[in-house]
Amino acid sequence: MNNDVSLVSPLAPARFPSLPAIAGLEAAIGRAGFYKHERPDLLLMRAPPETQAAGVFTTNAVGSAPTDWCKRALAESKGRARGLLVNAGCANAFTGADGDAACKRSLEAAATRLGLTPDEMMAASTGVIGVVLDDSKIARALPAMETGPVDWLTAAQAIGTTDTFPKGAGAACEIGGTKINIAGIAKGSGMIAPDMATMLAFVFTDAALSAAALDTMLREECETSFNSITVDGDRSTNDCVLLFATGASKMPSIADAKDDRLSGFRASLSQVLADLAIQIVRDGEGATKLVTVSVSGAASHASAKKIARTICESPLVKTAIAGEDANWGRIVAAVGRADEPIVRKQLSVRFGDLWAAKNGAVAPDYNEAAMSAYMKRPELEIAVIVGPGEGRARMFTCDLTKRYIEINGDYRS
C-alpha cells in the first residue's frame, strides 16, 4: 500500500466504508517485514468450524504456490476451510518445489497459531514474481499477532502492494427472514485483466450455504465483476477470489444455488463483488479516468465481451482517453481487430449521450466542442453498437498515463 497520500488515485472513494461484522470471524494483522518501510503485510483470519468456502483462481498457466495449494485443499476437503493466511510483498510464484515447501511451512505455522490443521487453511500471496517466500519471517511474526474482531480497514491495508487506497465493500440482506451480512476486501491496481483480473479478494458471509452453492454463485457473479475489469491486459499468476460462509447466522443451511430463497443474497453478493472490482479499476496504476465500455448488437454475449475487452485494452484507446481526446476512430479500429462478427453499416459509437459515429459513418450531429467537454469528466461511458444481434457485454477499464510507466519501471528498484 502506497503511504504517500499525495499519490492516492484521484478516483478513490472519499472514505473506506463501514463494513458489517461477520459473526464468528476473527483476524490478526502484523508485519513480517517483506517491505523495508513500516507497514502491515500479513493477514491471518479464523472462521467457525461450520465454515464452507469456494474459490475462483487465475487462469495464468504459470500459477503460484498459494493458488495451487488452495485449489488442491478445496478439492480434497470438499469446500471446508477455516483459516486464511495472506502475505504482501512476495508472490511466491514461479518458485518451484522450494516455493511449494515454503507455502506449506507458512501454513503449518499459521494453523498452529490458530489451533487448526494445515488442510483447513487457505493461502494467498502478492508481490514480486520469481522470489521464494521467506516463511521464516512469517513464523517469527505470528506469535505476536493477537486475534480479535476483524478491523476491515487495517486488513485491507495489509494485503495491498501498489494500491493507493484500501478496498472494502459490504451489504446486508435476508434469507428466509434471517438477516445476513456480507463483507469483503480486495487488493489490486496493476497487472489486472479478466480471467481472473495482481488481484486478491476475500469475501465473508454469516449465511449457512454449502460449498457447492458458494462455488456456483461465485463463478457466475465473477463473470460480471472481477472477470469484467481490465487495467492493463496483464493477467497475474496469483489472482484469486475466496468466498467463505461461516453459518453463524443460524439459518437453515441451503445446498442448492438455485434455491429461490437465495435471490436477495445473490443480488447482495453481486453488489459486493462488483463494488470491489470497480474499486480496483479506480485504483488502476496511474489512472485518472474510470471508463465503462458497453457493447451491444453482437452475435453472442461472448462475442460482445471479446469486443469490449479489445476496446478496453487498446493502448491507443486508453492513451486517447488519458489525453481527453474522443478519438472514436481508435475505438472503431479496435472493434474491427477483435475478429468477431460485426455489421459495418450499423457500427455506432457513443460517448455518454453524444454520438460520435452512427450506422457506419461519422454522426451527422457530431459536435467536437461538446465531445471535448465530456472527455474532461473523471468517469466516462462509451457505448458501441456492432450489429443487430442480441449479444451484449459491459466492461470497466481506465486510462493509460505516464504514471503507469513510472510505477512499473520502479517496481523492483
Residue 40 φ then ψ, to 5°: -70, 140
Q: Give the pLDDT mean for 87-110.
A: 97
282, 311, 343: which is the final residue of a domain? 282
3-class DSSP assignment, residue 65:
helix
- pLDDT score, position 3: 42
198 as an active site residue: the answer is yes
What's the CATH number where 371 sits?
A: 3.10.20.340
219, 250, 282: which is the final residue of a domain? 282
How far apart CA 14 and CA 26 sit, in angstroms, is 27
pLDDT-derived band at 189 (thresholds 50, 70, 90) equals: confident
Same structural domain, 163 and 267: yes
- pLDDT score, position 407: 78
Q: Give the pLDDT mean for 165-187.
A: 97
Element (H, E) at 383: strand 379-385
What's the CATH number where 136 sits?
A: 3.60.70.12
pLDDT-derived band at 412 (thresholds 50, 70, 90) equals: low
Q: Give the pLDDT mean for 73-88.
A: 97
Closest CA to 44 of 128, 110, 88, 94: 110
Same structural domain, 388 and 297: yes
Q: Give the pLDDT mean for 335-345.
A: 97
pLDDT for 162 beyond 50? yes
Give the structural domain span for 84: 5-282
Same structural domain, 234 and 326: no
Same structural domain, 41 and 85: yes
- pLDDT score, position 274: 97
Judge contact between 231 and 276, C-beta under 8 A: no
Same structural domain, 178 and 236: yes
Same structural domain, 251 and 377: no
Q: Which of 198, 237, 292, 310 is catalytic?
A: 198
What total number of domains does the chain contain?
2
How far apart CA 334 and CA 186 sit, in angstroms, is 30
- pLDDT score, position 168: 98
| 376-393 pLDDT per residue, tens | 999 999 999 999 999 999
Same structural domain, 228 and 374: no
Of all residues in the chain, the percent with pLDDT exceeding 70 is: 95
Q: What sections of 313-409 are H helices per DSSP? A: 315-322, 328-336, 368-374, 402-409
- pLDDT score, position 197: 41
Same structural domain, 173 and 266: yes
Same structural domain, 72 and 171: yes
Same structural domain, 125 and 35: yes
266, 282, 298: which is the final residue of a domain? 282
| 4-60 pLDDT per residue, tens | 445 899 999 999 999 999 999 999 999 999 998 999 999 999 999 999 999 999 888
Same structural domain, 91 and 200: yes
| 104-139 pLDDT per residue, tens | 999 999 999 999 999 999 999 998 899 999 999 999
Torsion of CA 248, 73, 28, 35, to 10 degrees: -150
Same structural domain, 126 and 197: yes
